[in-house]
Structure 1
Amino acid sequence: MKKTIIPLLLLGLLCPLLRAGARTPQSDDRVLSLEECREAALEHNRTLRNSRFDLEAARQSRREAFTNYFPQISASGGLFQAQHGLVQADFGLTVPQLGTMNLPISMVRRGMFGSVTAVQPLFAGLKIVNGNKLARLGEEVGEIQLRKTEGEVREQTDTYYWQIVSLKDNLSTIEAVERQLAEIRRQVELSVKAGLVTTNDLLRVELRQQEIAANRLTVENGLKVSKLLLAQHIGVDWHGFDVRTAAFADPEAPESCYVPVEEALDRRAEYLLAEKNVEAQKYQKRMERGKRLPTVGIGAGYLYYNMTDKDVDDGLVFAQVSVPISEWWGGAHALKKARIREQQAENDREQAREMLAVEIEKTWCEVQEAYARILIARRSVTSATENLRQNKNFYRAGTAPLSELLDAETLYTQSRNNLTSACAAYRTSLARYMRVTGR
Structure 2
Amino acid sequence: MKKIFLSSLAVLFSLAAMCQTTLTLDVQSCREMALAHNEDLMRAGNDARKAELDKQIALRGYFPKVDGTAMGTYMTDMPIMEGMELQMRGTYLAGINVVQPLYAGGKIIAGNKLARIGKECADENLRKTRMQVIADADNAYWTYISVGRKVRMLESYKTQMDTVCRQVEVALSAGMGVENDLLRIRTKQSEIHYQLQKARNGLDLCRLALCNVLGQPLDTGIMPTDTILSVSAPAQMDENISARPELALLQKQVEASEQQIKMARADVLPQIGLAGGYLYYGNIKLNGSSYDNGGNAVPFSQSLDDGIWQVMVSLNIPLFHWGEGLKKVKKARLDLESARLDLQKNQRLLSIEARQAVQNVTDGYRMIETAQLGCTQADENLRVMQNRYRNALCTLTDLLNAQSQWQQAQSNLIEAQTQYKLYETEYLRATGRLE
Superposition TM-score, scaled by structure 2 size: 0.84
How far does residue 282 in structure 1 lie from its aligned partner after superposition? Answer: 0.8
2:66 corresponds in structure 1 to 73
1:134 corresponds in structure 2 to 114
How far does residue 307 in structure 1 lie from its aligned partner after superposition? Answer: 7.0
How far does residue 191 in structure 1 lie from its aligned partner after superposition? Answer: 1.0
2:188 corresponds in structure 1 to 208
Give the SS at the match of 1:265.
coil
Alpha-carbon displacement from aligned partner over 1:280-304 (angstroms, at most 9, x marks no partner): 1111111111112222222221223
Give the SS at the match of 1:172.
helix
1:293 corresponds in structure 2 to 269
2:225 corresponds in structure 1 to 244
The answer to whether structure 1 residue 385 and structure 2 residue 379 are counterparts is yes
Matches within 5 A, 1:255-274: 256-259=235-238, 261=239, 264-274=240-250
The 2-side partners of 1:253 and 1:179 are apart by 34
The 1-side partners of 2:57 and 2:371 are apart by 60
Counterpart selection for 2:215 from 235, 243, 246? 235
One-letter amino acid of the structure 2 residue matched with residue 283 of structure 1: Q
How far does residue 206 in structure 1 lie from its aligned partner after superposition? Answer: 2.0
Counterpart selection for 1:34 from 27, 31, 36? 27
1:320 corresponds in structure 2 to 314
How far does residue 318 in structure 1 lie from its aligned partner after superposition? Answer: 2.1
**Residues 26, 109 of structure 1: alpha-carbon distance in 2 compared, 3 angstrom cutoff:** closer
The 2-side partners of 1:327 and 1:429 are apart by 58
Alpha-carbon displacement from aligned partner over 1:333-367 (angstroms, at most 9, x marks no partner): 11111111111111111112111111111222222
The answer to whether structure 1 residue 150 and structure 2 residue 144 are counterparts is no
| Unaligned ranges ≥5, structure 1 | 1-24, 92-102
1:348 corresponds in structure 2 to 342
Tell me how many residue pairs correspond in the alignment: 395
How far does residue 130 in structure 1 lie from its aligned partner after superposition? Answer: 1.2
The 2-side partners of 1:214 and 1:148 are apart by 42
The 2-side partners of 1:314 and 1:223 are apart by 82
2:48 corresponds in structure 1 to 55
The 1-side partners of 2:363 and 2:184 are apart by 38
The answer to whether structure 1 residue 369 and structure 2 residue 342 are counterparts is no
How far does residue 278 in structure 1 lie from its aligned partner after superposition? Answer: 0.8
The 2-side partners of 1:257 and 1:148 are apart by 24
Verify the 8 A CA contact 1:291 1:327 in the aligned structure 2.
Answer: no
How far does residue 413 in structure 1 lie from its aligned partner after superposition? Answer: 0.8
One-letter amino acid of the structure 2 residue matched with residue 169 of structure 1: R
How far does residue 90 in structure 1 lie from its aligned partner after superposition? Answer: 6.0
Let me know the Cα RMSD of the aligned residues.
2.4
The 1-side partners of 2:71 and 2:61 are apart by 28
**Residues 329, 74 of structure 1: alpha-carbon distance in 2 compared, 3 angstrom cutoff:** farther
The 2-side partners of 1:241 and 1:420 are apart by 19
How far does residue 401 in structure 1 lie from its aligned partner after superposition? Answer: 2.7
Give the SS at the match of 2:323.
helix
2:281 corresponds in structure 1 to 305
1:435 corresponds in structure 2 to 429
The answer to whether structure 1 residue 181 and structure 2 residue 197 are counterparts is no
**Residues 80, 380 of structure 1: alpha-carbon distance in 2 compared, 3 angstrom cutoff:** same
Give the SS at the match of 2:125.
helix
**Residues 402, 383 of structure 1: alpha-carbon distance in 2 compared, 3 angstrom cutoff:** same
The 2-side partners of 1:176 and 1:415 are apart by 14
How far does residue 232 in structure 1 lie from its aligned partner after superposition? Answer: 2.6
The 2-side partners of 1:121 and 1:426 are apart by 60
Verify the 8 A CA contact 2:149 2:227 in the aligned structure 1.
Answer: no
The 2-side partners of 1:366 and 1:305 are apart by 80
1:191 corresponds in structure 2 to 171
| Unaligned ranges ≥5, structure 2 | 1-18, 286-303
Superposition TM-score, scaled by structure 1 size: 0.83
The 1-side partners of 2:115 and 2:81 are apart by 61
The 1-side partners of 2:181 and 2:353 are apart by 53
One-letter amino acid of the structure 2 residue matched with residue 397 of structure 1: N
Alpha-carbon displacement from aligned partner over 1:202-258 (angstroms, at most 9, x marks no partner): 22222222222222222222222222322332334552332112541x51122x051
Matches within 5 A, 1:273-284: 273-284=249-260
Q: Percent identity?
A: 32
1:169 corresponds in structure 2 to 149
